Amino acid sequence: MTDIRTIEGDYSATTARFAIVVSRFNGFIVDSLLRGALDVLRRHGVEDKSIEVVQVPGAFELPLVAKRLAATRRYDAVIALGAVIRGGTAHFDYVAGGCARGLAEVALSCDLPVTFGVLTVDTIEQAIERAGTKAGNKGADAALTALEMVSLLRKLGG
Ligand code: INI
């Protein structure tokens, strides 16, 4: 048991560069996610000059812009933030599904951490709970995961 080597990331990648791609749709929620993400990065020692924020119209547009940012190789991770709130139609499923699938594909095709700070919820109340109130802040979580993934990939090398 003691011979097993375990590799895991930590939060020490303070010199890493981050792109945060943010949707404007449901902006009053997404602004809180962005504040949470920036707060985490700064508290862990990432300087503002190492962070760029790019705005897109809606969550459906996040994957393409995340891909363009990843392809520049200027960043160690991309953090995607948005809020998809279910309405009465199937629109939610297409927007949320396309966004999640697209972001996962960008991470794999570009070989770069792309973290998913996109709320997919039924109600505005649920969104508020996850944007800095009683259920935490999913933007902060996505930033913390990005930090950990940068560190983990550095340790894994290759
Ligand atoms: N975009 C969101 O980010 N959240 C939503 O809840 C949402 N809803 O419900 O429609 C939404 N729609 C816009 C979509 O992301 C695209 O911007 C639009 O379809 C144009 O491609």
Contact 113, 49 (CB under 8 A): no
Q: What is the pLDDT of residues 74-121, one digit of tens each?
A: 999 999 999 999 977 788 999 999 999 999 999 999 999 999 999 999
Question: For the chain, what is the mean pLDDT?
Answer: 96
Tell how far the Cα of 125 is from the centroid of ligand 1, in angstroms: 18
Q: What is the pLDDT of residues 6-25, one digit of tens each?
A: 999 999 999 999 999 999 99
* Alpha helices (H) in the chain, listed in sequence order: 27-43, 62-71, 91-110, 124-129, 138-156
Using the atom order of ligand 1, give the atom closest to the CA of residue 59. 3
Q: CA 72 to CA 90: how far, in whole Å? A: 34
Catalytic residue among 42, 74, 91, 101: 91
Please, which pLDDT band fits residue 155 given cuts at 50, 70 and 90? very high
Tell how far the Cα of 26 is from the centroid of ligand 1, in angstroms: 9
Phi-psi region of 52 (alpha: psi -120 to 50; beta: other; left: phi over 0): beta
Q: What pLDDT is recorded for position 56?
A: 98
**Which SS3 state, helix, strand or coil, does residue 86 take?**
coil
Q: Determine which residue's CA is closest to atom 5 belonging to ligand 1.
A: 84
Which residues form ligand 1's pocket by a CB distance below 6 Å?
Answer: 23, 25-26, 57-61, 82-85, 87, 91-92, 95
Structure tokens at 102: 């697209």
Tell how far the Cα of 151 is from the centroid of ligand 1, in angstroms: 33
The answer to whether 44 is a known catalytic residue is no
Q: What pLDDT is recorded for position 130?
A: 97
Q: CA 105 to CA 55: how far, in whole Å? A: 20
Tell how far the Cα of 98 is from the centroid of ligand 1, in angstroms: 11
Using the atom order of ligand 1, give the atom closest to the CA of residue 56. 17
Phi-psi region of 64 (alpha: psi -120 to 50; beta: other; left: phi over 0): alpha
In the predicted structure, residue 132 carries a pLDDT above the cut 90: yes
- Kindly report the pTM of this predicted structure: 0.97
